[in-house]
Amino acid sequence: MLSRRNFLTAAVGVAAAGGLAACAKEDDSSTGSSSTGGAKTITLGFSQVGSESGWRSANTTSVKDAAKEAGYNLKFSDAQQKQENQISAIRNYIAQKVDVIAFSPVVVTGWDAVLKEAKAAKIPVVLTDRSVETSDDSLYVTLVGSDFTDEGRRAAKILEKVLTKAGHKGAVKIAQLEGTTGAAPAIERAKGFKEIMDAEHKADWKIVVSQTGDFTRAGGKQVMAAFLQSNPDVNVLFAHNDDMAIGAIQAIEAAGKKPGTDILIVSIDGVKDGFVAMSEGKINAIVECNPLLGPQLMDVVKKVKDGETVERWIKTEESDFMQDQAKAALPSRKY
Ligand code: GYE
């Protein structure tokens, strides 16, 4: 285990030993190094995945707002969906001797080297949103985020309801729009969905086509257009996020079909635009994945900095929504 007592309570504003990779965006919402009540301001280095989706924008806002609220000195950088940018951001935070590093890893593998560097520098690492696969459990302290496998299972369970509600008879031919290849939510949502499908619907459900849309609207639109060409008999779309579902809706309409009727759609996230599409009858059900992780993350960062023991996985609480709940739920959606 990491020895958390000896973490450097580094002076805030230490000059960076090197610049971030040119293509990564960095900002520093420093609240200054002034301390209140004698305690040093916590400096948190946060490496975000990118800005690929509505979920991500809400997550970024939540992290920035919560850091401000907590009075932390937040060093934030956007990796634009590139692992090499995240690795250089993390190296930069190590060089700056931040108190804690938090990051949402774009993919699950390939982190051991940089995480070992953080450990050697005695800087604790908190994962947020997405997990990593590592050979050494001591390389990060905790994960604050959702259970994506369960979200995949919930998507399959809610599809059962959608099919019943639509009075669907016959074969269920599913197109799957996967998230970013190698990312935890893409791997685990596919796994959870398949688990229920294989256990309970082997005879009548089949994923006839499946490809990544990289969690973006443009990706969802482009890949769905190709699916409709190669598999015009698809009657269900399972999209790993709302943005890809929204892009796919455009492709479905362009092909002269009715989303939500000719092709039943289930997606994950529950962002406002997803709810709008659902209230228009174009998405049939959404499995919520909560991006408002900022406040929980700041709590954990403080505990980790103070050497307190935290749970290995701090899970997010979420709900599921059918189309008939969309209109009522829309005004109270926070992201
Ligand atoms: O579902 C998707 C985003 O990691 C949970 O990433 C997150 C996913 C989210 O791009 O919209």
Q: What is the pLDDT of residues 58-109, one digit of tens each?
A: 999 999 999 999 999 999 999 999 999 999 999 999 999 999 999 999 999 9
Regarding the beta carbon of 215 and ligand 1, being less than 6 Å apart is answered: yes
DSSP per position, 168-216: --S-EEEEEEE-STT-HHHHHHHHHHHHHHHHH-TTTEEEEEEEE-TTS
Integer-rounded Cα Rg, in Å, for the chain is 21
First-to-last C-alpha distance (Å) of the chain? 37
For residues 161 and 249, membership in a common domain is answered with yes
For residues 122 and 251, membership in a common domain is answered with no
Q: Are 266 and 289 in contact (CB under 8 A)?
A: no
Q: Are 7 and 66 in contact (CB under 8 A)?
A: no
Indicate whether 323 belongs to any domain: no
Q: Residue 184 CA: which ligand 1 atom is closest? A: 4
For residues 113 and 171, membership in a common domain is answered with no
User: For residue 318, what pLDDT band results from cuts at 50, 70 and 90?
Assistant: confident
For residues 60 and 141, membership in a common domain is answered with yes
287/309 Cα distance (integer angstroms)? 31
Regarding the beta carbon of 217 and ligand 1, being less than 6 Å apart is answered: no
| pLDDT for 38 | 56
Q: C-alpha distances in angstroms, 35 versus 13, 40, 44, 93, 280?
A: 13, 5, 15, 21, 50
Q: Are 154 and 188 in contact (CB under 8 A)?
A: no
| pLDDT for 313 | 97
For residues 193 and 261, membership in a common domain is answered with yes
For residues 55 and 185, membership in a common domain is answered with no
For residues 132 and 203, membership in a common domain is answered with no
The alpha carbon of 331 and the centre of ligand 1 are apart by a number of angstroms equal to: 22
For residues 95 and 161, membership in a common domain is answered with no
150/211 Cα distance (integer angstroms)? 21
**What tokens were used for 303?**
């505990």
Of the candidates 81, 125, 83, 118, the residue with the CA atom closest to the CA atom of residue 102:
125
For residues 83 and 160, membership in a common domain is answered with no
For residues 118 and 208, membership in a common domain is answered with no
Please give the tally of structural domains in the chain. Answer: 2
User: For residue 16, what pLDDT band results from cuts at 50, 70 and 90?
Assistant: very low
Q: Residue 52 CA: which ligand 1 atom is closest? A: 10
CATH of the domain at 139: 3.40.50.2300
For residues 301 and 227, membership in a common domain is answered with no
The alpha carbon of 117 and the centre of ligand 1 are apart by a number of angstroms equal to: 27
**What tokens were used for 62?**
């939540």
Indicate whether 209 belongs to any domain: yes
The alpha carbon of 141 and the centre of ligand 1 are apart by a number of angstroms equal to: 22
278/322 Cα distance (integer angstroms)? 8
DSSP per position, 238-298: EESSHHHHHHHHHHHHHTT--BTTTBEEEEEE--HHHHHHHHTTS--EEEE-----HHHHH
Regarding the beta carbon of 241 and ligand 1, being less than 6 Å apart is answered: yes
174/177 Cα distance (integer angstroms)? 10
What angle do the packed helices 294-305 and 54-70 form, to 10 degrees?
Answer: 50
Q: C-alpha distances in angstroms, 279 versus 14, 24, 256, 260, 322?
A: 50, 37, 20, 11, 10
The alpha carbon of 185 and the centre of ligand 1 are apart by a number of angstroms equal to: 7
Indicate whether 96 belongs to any domain: yes
Least confident of 18-22, 191-195, 198-202, 300-304: 18-22
Q: What is the pTM of this model?
A: 0.90
Indicate whether 38 belongs to any domain: yes
Q: What is the pLDDT of residues 286-298, one digit of tens each?
A: 999 999 999 999 9
The alpha carbon of 214 and the centre of ligand 1 are apart by a number of angstroms equal to: 10
Range of the domain at 245: 148-289
Indicate whether 156 belongs to any domain: yes
For residues 152 and 275, membership in a common domain is answered with yes
Residue of the CA atom closest to atom 8 of ligand 1: 185
Indicate whether 4 belongs to any domain: no
Indicate whether 332 belongs to any domain: no
